[in-house]
A and B are shown apart, each in its own frame.
Chain A
């Protein structure tokens, strides 16, 4: 077993265990942290596949930003674990059906001969000065420029929609205009009054 294979098994073990803990951990915060761990290890596995841009982007976007906000929300929820466990038996049958269907679909896809290891031999190792990031950038902005632009427009619409849907004007905020605060002059705030000294 060469070094790369050993690293692969090491990372995969962590990944599988962490993913299992995501769904078995009792505490939702622990589950979210295991999800962070599994994202991070998945990044490591992708790095082994020489997809360094995707690996780093996964860590940067999902671990560095998405999961932080996710944790932010999960930590603030006051979750009663006993109530979550209610109705386990009632939901078991539909849950099992969904799980069985998903498992069958995964077998159908992964078991097909197109995806077997023999059908796709490992690509040759690229030259030393080959930059995965540069090649990806070139492809996105030349060959796939229209799908890429389309995806970005959809994302932009989603961002604006999310802001528009949650935006509300509150009347009770004590919002201050910083420009006005800076532009204030002494005459606006202080009035100097000349008071003659009082004598008894």
Chain B
């Protein structure tokens, strides 16, 4: 690899660093977009099976029956791409077009600091966790601006709900991450993963028991549920609650602009699943000593978390809005603060397992 890149590097000279970084960015974004497309298919298939249906099974490649349904995301994408984007006449045009971009951009930008494997990360910065928190908190602007720029009551109500909900759950999410950074003593995501590979159980070859999910179990649950709420997924999808406000902030959008909101939602789901795997489930580490570590473990753990997103959607009815607020402010925030103090005491005591 090195020998292969050497002549290219010499050819490009000073332009080498930006070009090589762009190549790396594409190497992350393109597979991610593929995952997003097939996550929509997986969602429809899995929920279909849970409800004893087949799910999409018609669109196939080259007429091969066995691949039925596999081409569905491509067909959906093409259809949305060719549709007209209707601009409502009373909308705020620039913001209306900008909103889907603002929804999608943060969910892609956050991938810059995600470590896929040992040393396999685009930007290995030492404030990675803070960066993730800051970037994901920007995602709400897409929804708010979309709701306001549409100049529609339903869209506006959706954006107000979203603003209140995301601000509420971000606090619990932040506290959950604070406990993670306390026990790992680092803000670097790679260091957080490496820290989970050390300890009594990891030395016995049972790495799965030394990951953060066990000592920080309440935080693991709070983080994941807050993540579901942050991504506006069912059962917290009052932002787009069909029965109440039709489709919330997306109601005036059509064609690819509408699809961008969907891309953002699914990219955010994958991001939250990957972050949960990195913070609490040991990232790329192998659960048992005799199997090698590697990217496949991170992928498997993220897929496991993603399955929970779909499972939750198929299982629970939508929360009532006041109950969402109650859960966020009166349950999650006290739980996280109590566990924060408890972990602080545990770390100072002689029984600390993070020495």
User: Among the listed A29, A52, A68, A132, which residue makes an inter-chain contact with B167, where contact means beta carbons less than 8 Å apart?
Assistant: A68
Complex formed: what's the CA distance from A131 to B181 in Å? 14
Determine if B138 and A65 form an interchain contact, defined as CB atoms under 8 angstroms apart.
no
Q: Could you tell me the distance between the alpha carbons of A27 and B160 in the complex, rounded to whole angstroms?
A: 19
Task: Indicate with 1 or 0, residue by residue over A34-69, a CB within 8 angstroms of chain B CB atoms.
Answer: 001000000000000000110011011001110011
Q: Looking at chain A, what size class is its interface with the partner chain?
A: 20 to 34
Interface of A is mostly: helix
> Which of these, B92, B134, B159, B323, contacts A64 with CB under 8 Å?
B134
Contacts A/B (CB < 8 Å), 25 sampled: A29-B148, A33-B95, A33-B145, A53-B130, A56-B130, A56-B133, A56-B134, A57-B130, A59-B134, A60-B130, A60-B134, A63-B137, A63-B138, A64-B134, A64-B170, A68-B140, A69-B163, A71-B144, A71-B148, A71-B163, A72-B163, A75-B156, A75-B160, A131-B127, A132-B127
Given contacts A72-B163, A76-B160, A178-B323, contact A65 B137 (CB under 8 A): yes
Interchain residue pairs A-B with the least CB separation, the first 10: A64-B137, A60-B134, A59-B134, A56-B130, A56-B134, A131-B126, A72-B163, A52-B127, A75-B148, A68-B163
Residue ranges of A at the interface with B (Cβ–Cβ < 8 Å): 27, 29-30, 33, 36, 52-53, 56-57, 59-60, 63-65, 68-69, 71-72, 75-76, 129, 131-133, 178
- What separation, in Å, do the CA atoms of A68 and B134 have in the docked complex? 13
How long is the Cα–Cα vector from A76 to B326 in the complex, in angstroms? 23
Q: Once the chains bind, are A69 and B167 in contact (CB under 8 Å)?
A: yes
Of the residues B95, B131, B141, contact of A56 by C-beta under 8 Å? B131
The contact of A72 among B127, B134, B160, by CB within 8 Å, is B160
Which B residues form the contact surface with A (CB < 8 A)? 92, 95, 125-127, 130-131, 133-135, 137-138, 140-141, 144-145, 148, 156, 159-160, 163-164, 166-167, 170, 187, 323, 326
- Shortest Cβ distance from B134 into chain A, in angstroms? 4
Least Cβ distance of B125 to chain A in Å? 8
Residue of B whose beta carbon sits closest to that of A74: B148
**Which single residue of chain B is at the shortest CB-CB distance from A69?**
B167
Q: In the bound complex, do residue B126 and residue A133 qualify as a contact, i.e. CB atoms below 8 Å apart?
A: yes
Partner among A27, A56, A68, A129 whose Cβ is within 8 Å of the Cβ of B144? A68
Docked pose: A71 CA to B323 CA in angstroms = 24
- Is A133's CB under 8 angstroms from B127's CB? yes
Sample of 12 more A-B contacts, CB < 8 Å, known A52-B130, A53-B130, A68-B167: A36-B141, A52-B127, A59-B137, A60-B130, A64-B134, A68-B163, A69-B163, A71-B163, A72-B160, A129-B126, A133-B130, A133-B187
Q: How far is the CA of A71 from the CA of B163 in the complex (A)?
A: 9
Most A CB contacts (10 A, CB to CB) among B95, B127, B156, B159 go to B127
Closest to A36 in B: B141
Complex CA gap A72/B158 in Å reads 12
Contact A53 B148 (CB under 8 A): no
Does B127 contact A53, Cβ atoms closer than 8 Å? yes
Q: Within the assembled complex, what's the spacing in Å between the Cα atoms of A56 and B131?
A: 6
A136 → chain B, closest Cβ, in Å?
A: 11
Residue of B nearest to A71 (CB): B144
